[in-house]
A and B are shown apart, each in its own frame.
Chain A
Amino acid sequence: AQKITQTQPGMFVQEKEAVTLDCTYDTSDPSYGLFWYKQPSSGEMIFLIYQGSYDQQNATEGRYSLNFQKARKSANLVISASQLGDSAMYFCAMREVSGSARQLTFGSGTQLTVLP
Chain B
Amino acid sequence: EPEVTQTPSHQVTQMGQEVILRCVPISNHLYFYWYRQILGQKVEFLVSFYNNEISEKSEIFDDQFSVERPDGSNFTLKIRSTKLEDSAMYFCASGIPTGGAEKLFFGSGTQLSVL
Chain A positions near chain B (C-beta within 8 angstroms): 31-33, 35, 37, 42-47, 50, 52-54, 91, 93, 95, 97, 100-109
Given known contacts A52-B99, A54-B100, A102 and B56 CB-to-CB distance under 8 angstroms: yes
Partner of A106, one of B42, B55, B98: B42
In the complex, are the beta carbons of A103 and B100 less than 8 A apart? no
Measured CA separation A32–B105 after assembly (Å):
17
How large, as a class, is the contact surface on chain B?
20 to 34
| Chain B interface, >50% SS class | strand
Q: Which of B17-25, B68-76, B107-115 contacts A (4 or more CB under 8 A)?
A: B107-115
Is B82's CB within 8 Å of the partner chain A?
no
Inter-chain CB contacts under 8 Å: number: 73
**Chain A interface SS verdict (over half):** loop
Residue of A nearest to B97 (CB): A97
A31 touches B48 (CB 8 A): no
Contact residues in B for A93 (Cβ distance below 8 Å): 43
Q: With A44-B108, A44-B109, A102-B48 in contact, do A31 and B42 touch (Cβ < 8 Å)?
A: no
Q: Contacts of A50 on B, CB cut-off 8 Å?
A: 98, 101, 103
